[in-house]
Homo-oligomer: A and B are copies of this chain.
Amino acid sequence: MDVELVSIGNELLLGYTIDTNAAYFAREAAAQGIRVVRRATVGDGPEEIAAAVREALARTGAVITSGGLGPTADDLTKPSIAEIFGRGMTLDEGILEDLKQRWAKRGWPGELPAANRNQALIPAGAEIIRNDHGSAPGIWLEDEQGRWCAMLPGVPREFRGMAREQLIPRLVARRGEAVGLVVRSRTLRTTGIAESKLADEMGELAKDPLGTRLAYLPGWEGVDLRITVWNEPSDRAATLLDDAERAIREKVGAWMYGLDDDDLAVLMLQQLRARGLKIAVAESCTGGMLGMRLTAIPGSSDVVDGGTIAYANHVKVRELGVRDATLQAQGAVSEETAREMASGVRARFGVDVGVSITGVAGPGGGTPEKPVGTVCVAVDLRGELRSARTTMVGDRHEVRQRSTQAALNLLRRALAG
């Protein structure tokens, strides 16, 4: 099944916004055997929009638009596309009611502004594509020849959610059982090991293992190994991926923490919850990033009590009981300081696990002995202390991200015993 994408918005044409929706859709769709064969980007002008959609309909008859469904005056997508299908615009009472309720919920003064009412106007005979992530619903418009145009909002959170939950399932169902070949990928997530070291450890498997295609995807979470099978029947694709994963695990399983979208923070929360352990964090250079990561997970409150952001040294001493002697002798960025921070926050919050991070995030503050990127992490698991020191690459933000991952990886090893 071939489709075309039309991304709408002057801000895209002007280059102020990078179009990540199109790439997201292409990847998600490919996994279902739906191929994006052409993409176009046009401005907010009704003629531009109509021209691009008309051309795409003539080519593939299957068009997905992104953007131009907002409440403000510069959003003209729906009427210009309705015209192509020879449809007028009608007010959808259901949408209007929903918009009114959302407005009321926000607790802003006054009635729903006229601008928002535009969002309730839809082409005659159109179907609504549900939007569980925002106020602007999507539109499905189709003619007698089966040519269709699906209009989604451009806000990434809304576009992605609707593509994943509504549009792609609809296209898969529409395609029916007939077609068979799929493209399937699986990602093996590693951390705490360099890309080149990983390749060495994998030996023979380092290049396209067992008939799959292998991509190394290094990032702040670690190095992801993505294996992909192209155009195979889905059962055969699954077997190829299973065999390749098993072979790779035998080589580098020790550094693997999960698959696909697995998040190390989520996995750690699950393990802590399963064991009935409570956790608190002590953060210096990350300034709250580890706490933020852990509490980003719904339901984390039954495991995470909180923590101390000990950015200034006197806070490390006063709030966490780090000894002045340690700061003098070892420095704020040292495994010993990290260990005292972990034990200190565990004692102060009266929890089972204390996790700490202290480091030189940069760009300033580096020394020959402790260059920018030097980070020490520690874990106190019911009095059992572990610590590690590494040197991270990347800018300030990336060093901080990598630091939270290093702390969670040390926790992973501590819980594994």
Q: Bound state CA distance, A312 and B351, in angstroms?
A: 12
On whether A308 and B306 interact (CB within 8 A), knowing A108-B194, A396-B296, the answer reads: yes
Residues of B within 8 A of A290 (CB): 288
- List the interface of chain A (C-beta within 8 A of B): 10-20, 22-27, 30, 36-44, 48, 52, 55, 70-74, 102, 105-108, 113, 115-116, 133-135, 155, 157, 185, 194-197, 199-200, 206-207, 213-218, 226, 228, 281, 283, 285-292, 294-296, 298-301, 304-312, 314-315, 319, 349, 362-364, 371, 390-391, 393-398, 400
Closest approach, in angstroms, between the C-beta of A161 and any C-beta of chain B? 8
Residues of B within 8 A of A287 (CB): 288, 291-292, 294-296, 300, 304, 306
| Most central of A43, A48, A197, A371 by chain B CB within 10 Å | A197
Residues of B within 8 A of A393 (CB): 102, 106, 134-135
Q: Bound state CA distance, A317 and B291, in angstroms?
A: 19
A39 & B41 in contact (Cβ 8 Å cutoff): yes
| Most central of A11, A43, A311, A364 by chain B CB within 10 Å | A311
Q: Bound state CA distance, A12 and B37, in angstroms?
A: 11
Residues of B within 8 A of A395 (CB): 133, 157
Closest approach, in angstroms, between the C-beta of A373 and any C-beta of chain B? 8
Residues of B within 8 A of A294 (CB): 287
B311 & A301 in contact (Cβ 8 Å cutoff): yes
Residues of B within 8 A of A305 (CB): 311-312, 314-315
On whether A14 and B228 interact (CB within 8 A), knowing A38-B40, A395-B133, the answer reads: yes
Which of chain B's residues has its CB closest to A115's CB?
A: B196
Main SS class of interface, A: mixed
Q: Bound state CA distance, A134 and B349, in angstroms?
A: 40
Closest approach, in angstroms, between the C-beta of A182 and any C-beta of chain B? 13
Which of chain B's residues has its CB closest to A40's CB?
A: B40
Closest approach, in angstroms, between the C-beta of A162 and any C-beta of chain B? 13
Q: Bound state CA distance, A37 and B310, in angstroms?
A: 50
A37 contact from B43, B73, B115, Cβ within 8 A: B43
Q: Bound state CA distance, A363 and B133, in angstroms?
A: 12
B295 & A292 in contact (Cβ 8 Å cutoff): no
Task: Supply 11 A–B pairs (Cβ within 8 Å), ascending by A.
Answer: A11-B217, A19-B19, A22-B41, A37-B43, A39-B40, A155-B218, A283-B288, A288-B307, A296-B397, A306-B308, A306-B309
Residues of B within 8 A of A398 (CB): 157
A13 contact from B15, B26, B312, Cβ within 8 A: B26
The 4 tightest CB contacts between A and B, nearest first, are: A288-B288, A287-B295, A288-B291, A15-B26
A73 & B206 in contact (Cβ 8 Å cutoff): yes
Closest approach, in angstroms, between the C-beta of A336 and any C-beta of chain B? 18
A15 & B27 in contact (Cβ 8 Å cutoff): yes
- Besides A39-B41, A70-B218, 11 new A-B residue pairs in contact (Cβ under 8 A), listed by A number: A11-B226, A12-B39, A14-B36, A16-B217, A38-B41, A70-B216, A72-B199, A73-B206, A133-B395, A283-B291, A288-B309
